Amino acid sequence: MPKVSKPKALPKSMGACADLLFDVRQQRLDADKYAASLKSEEERIKTHIIDNLKKDDTGAAGKHHRVQVKRDRKYRVNPENWNKFFAWVGKNKRYDMLQKRINDAAVRDHMETPRAAKLPGVEPFDYVTVSLTKV
């Protein structure tokens, strides 16, 4: 994996900055693809170990590393009926079961409706991005 070289100074020309931004972004995307392929191989090996290590075994050891399959009690759930779940959360005041995050698309839809009321308790701000296209 090649190292990313950092220029000592950014180019003065915005056009040269655009080219540099594209090159660095392409390097990052290539690195992301490489990392994704490594993660996929890692998951394939883990699945193989989980499926093939004897369940009553305490693990297996190679020359340098040891592996065990642990069954941790981590509770994870899939919502099957949101209405029932939300009713339970409200009744029991267990709002800690929910994550605090605002849905950007729903806010945008609300704000783009004619005569939309200002949302209480939030402060809008301009989110700035850079658009990069090939010329």
Beta strand extents in 50-114 (DSSP E only)? 60-61, 66-67
Run of H or E residues at 23: helix 14-52
- Domain positions in the chain are 12-56
Nearest to 42 by CA among 70, 67, 76, 77: 67
The pTM (predicted TM-score) of the whole model is 0.58
Distance CA 111, CA 125 (A): 13
What span, in angstroms and rounded, lies between the C-alpha atoms of 111 and 22? 33
Query: What's the pLDDT tens digit per position in 39-89?
Result: 999 999 999 988 888 776 678 888 888 888 877 667 778 889 999 999 999
Tell me how many helices (H) and strands (E) the chain has. Answer: 3, 2
Please compute Rg for the chain using Cα positions. Answer: 25
Report the share of the chain in percent with pLDDT over 70: 93
Kindly report, residue by residue over 82-102, the tens digit of the pLDDT.
999 999 999 999 999 998 888
> Tokens in use for 78?
């899939």
Identify whether the C-beta of residue 119 lies closer than 8 Å to the C-beta of residue 107. Answer: yes
Helices (H), 57-131: 82-92, 104-111
What confidence score (pLDDT) does residue 119 get?
Answer: 86
Q: Please, are residues 89 and 98 in contact by the beta-carbon 8 Å criterion? A: yes
